[in-house]
Amino acid sequence: MGNCGSIGGVWTEDTGLTSVQDPGRFIMDYNSFEHIKMTVDAGGSYSFAARVGLADFWPGSQGTDPAHANWHSTGGVARRYGRPDELEGVHAVPQKCGEAYAGAVATLAGLTRSAQAGNSASAVLAIHDIQDSYAAGHLYQFWPGGLPSWAHLRGDASFNTSPVDATRAYLKALRGAAPMQSPEHYLAPRPANCN
């Protein structure tokens, strides 16, 4: 069992991600509700949809490193060693849009392989990544950490049917009712100015 820290819930199950004990203690924000609604609209069960919606509250999920930022379809802070103009040291460099997009593609590919092998937590994160990619507050932009800006929140609140359609197609493929496509088929397209 893992503790969710300041949110106040306690995750149960061996994965630490499967269900919530005392769900009334969780703070449900608009973004979580949107993830739940999109997943249910796409044919996911309510319990699966709740897990997708609550993925933002998993321990470490708001990390700024690429491993965490990319499963929200945002750019993280990459650690680069020994730049050519310096002899030693670690340098924190924000991922550019193109790097964040490539990271989201690679992340979804890895999550898909794991989900197809039966890991339900990977399926949850894959759907979360797909849906976040369509939010204007995400869309492969750099995530500095901390509280989201107003522009980020407004972008998250703008709704369109594309993430629902992409979620539906991904769930259908994950269930074996259609062939699994490449990650690019499900994620929001790379923006034209995304280098």
More confident residue, 23 or 65: 65
More confident residue, 95 or 29: 95
Q: pLDDT class for 20, splitting at 50, 70, 90?
A: very low
What does the mean pLDDT of the chain come to?
A: 79
The reported pLDDT for the residue numbered 159 is: 67
- Return d(Cα 178, Cα 33) in angstroms, integer: 28
Does 86 have pLDDT greater than 80? no
DSSP states along 154-171: HHHH---SHHHHHHHHHH
More confident residue, 160 or 164: 164
For 2, 74, 171, the CA distances from 46, given in Å and listed in that order, are 22, 26, 14
The reported pLDDT for the residue numbered 143 is: 84
pLDDT over 70 percentage in the chain: 77
Dihedral sign, CA of 138, 143, 148, 151? negative
* Residue ranges per structural domain of the chain: 2-186
pLDDT over 90 percentage in the chain: 45
**pTM, 2 dp:** 0.79
Does 181 have pLDDT greater than 90? yes
> Mean of the pLDDT values across residues 137-154?
80
25-53 pLDDT per residue, tens:
333 467 788 889 999 999 999 999 999 99
